[in-house]
Amino acid sequence: MKTIICMITIGLLLLLPAGICFSQQGGQPQAKGLDEQVQEIKSDVLAIAAELDQLEEKLLFPSHTQCALFISLAPAETFRLDAVDISLDERPVAAHIYSFKELEALQKGGVQRIFTGNISSGEHRLQVLFRGQGESGSQVERRQDFMVSKGIGPAFYELVLSQQGLTLKDR
């Protein structure tokens, strides 16, 4: 019977997640207390982060001048995006080189906010250049200019990239 109990313990140690193993090693009360405190401080810091985000937005990007640019990949797009450069009214405002994780996140449907800034109401020239690699290993480089019209409220633009080119959506 002792052997059986030993076997079960081994089996459970192998297959069960953290909590079970903890309780079998005698360090439970202290470890649990610490874990709970870590969870609490995470919660507190998240609350600070949320308030700081609001403060930052209010202070740096007031709604009447705010302009945000987002990057997404067209659905089922397989080309490897390497880098994006963006200029607004001939002034470079954003440049990004993509890591594997970032590219994967875009391919899964994530959207990257590549730029947040302030622009005045009226017409603005947006220039986008992106580089990457096609499935066959060929270099992909696309450049396109857009005219965007900023109203009195905040402006959100989504740049949808695909191997064929890019599309601008006023959101």
Partner 1 sequence: MDRIVIILIAVLFIAAPARAAATAAPEKLEDLYLGEVLYYAFQEDWFEAIARLDGELAQYHHLDEPQLDTLYPHIGLAEFAVGDFELAYRMHQRAGRAINAVINGNVSDPVRNEALYRLARIYFQKSQPVNAQQALDRIRGEVPQRLQADLAFLRAQVAMVNGRFDVAVELLNRLQNEKGLQGFAGYNLGIALLGTGNEQAAWQQLDQTGQLQSSERLALAMRDKTNLVLGEKLLAEGNRAVAKDVLDRVRLTGPFSDRALLSSGWADAGQEHFEAALIPWSILAKRDVTDSAVQEALLAVPYAYGKLGVYSRAALLYGHALEVFSTEIDRLSASISSIRNGYFLDALTRPELQQDADWLVRLRALPEAPETFYLVDLMASNDFQEGLRNYLDLHQLRLRLDSWTTDLAAFEQLIDTRRRYYEPLLPAIDARFRQLDSLMRVRLDQRLQIEKRLQSLLVAPRPELLMTAAERTNKDRLNQLTRQLKEAAQPLPAAMLERINRLQGVLDWTIQTDFDQRLTATYTRLETLNNDVAALQQQYAAFVRVRQAATQSYQGYQQTILSQRNRIVAARERVDKLLARQGHQLEEQAVKELQQRLARLEEFRIKARFAMADSYDRAALEQGQEGAGQ
Q: Which is nearer to partner 1, 22 or 165 (CB)?
A: 22
Amino acid present at 171:
R
CB of 101 to partner 1, least distance (A): 5
CB of 136 to partner 1, least distance (A): 26
By C-alpha distance, which of 94, 98, 151, 152 is closest to 126? 94
Q: Which is nearer to partner 1, 9 or 138 (CB)?
A: 9
Instruction: Answer for the pair 78, 117: CB distance below 8 angstroms, yes or no.
Output: no
Per-residue binding string, partner 1, 141-170, x by CB under 8 A, is: -----------x---x-x------------
Which tokens is 34 given? 């610490």
Strands (E), the chain: 66-73, 80-88, 91-97, 112-118, 122-133, 139-150, 155-162, 165-170
Q: Which residues contact 118 (CB under 8 A, 6 or more apart)?
A: 60, 61, 62, 65, 66, 67
Told to check if 11 binds partner 1 by CB under 8 A, we report yes
38: left (phi over 0), alpha (psi -120 to 50) or beta: alpha
Sole window of 53-61, 78-86, 90-98, 124-132 interacting with partner 1 (rule: CB under 8 A): 53-61
Q: Which is nearer to partner 1, 99 or 139 (CB)?
A: 99
Q: Which is nearer to partner 1, 37 or 149 (CB)?
A: 37
Told to check if 45 binds partner 1 by CB under 8 A, we report yes
By C-alpha distance, which of 154, 169, 70 is closest to 120? 154
Per-residue binding string, partner 1, 79-118, x by CB under 8 A, is: ----------------------xx-xxx-xxxxxx-----
Rule CB under 8 A: which residues touch partner 1? 3-4, 7-8, 10-12, 14-23, 25, 27-28, 30-31, 34-39, 41-56, 58-60, 62, 64, 68, 70, 72, 101-102, 104-106, 108-113, 121, 152, 156, 158, 171
